[in-house]
Amino acid sequence: QLGGHLMSAQLDKEGGDALKCRIEALGIDVRTSHATKQIVPGQNCRHRLIFADDTTLETDMVVFSAGIRPQ
């Protein structure tokens, strides 16, 4: 998630944080304020994401979502 909280166009920070807690309760790692710079083959998983701050995450699945921002 590039924004500071989940679904920032639809939810306020409290709502986004509540959603994040619910998703994390399912065992899913949620990262906000992360911009993906590159996706390369992983060493231990299928994909390795390299973020703009040069941190990385290895994963077997990458989900892309696209939306529109109002002007």
pLDDT digits (tens, 9 = 90+) for 4-56: 899 888 899 999 999 999 999 999 888 888 899 999 999 999 999 999 999 99
> What residues contact 45, with CB distance under 8 A and at least 6 apart?
58, 59, 60
Res. 68: pLDDT tops 90: no
Helix (H, G, I), strand (E, B), or coil: what is residue 41? strand
Degrees to nearest 5, angle at CA 33 with 20 and 61: 65
Which pLDDT value is given to residue 53? 94
Query: Can you give the pTM of this predicted structure?
Result: 0.72
- What ranges do the domains of the chain cover? 1-33, 35-66
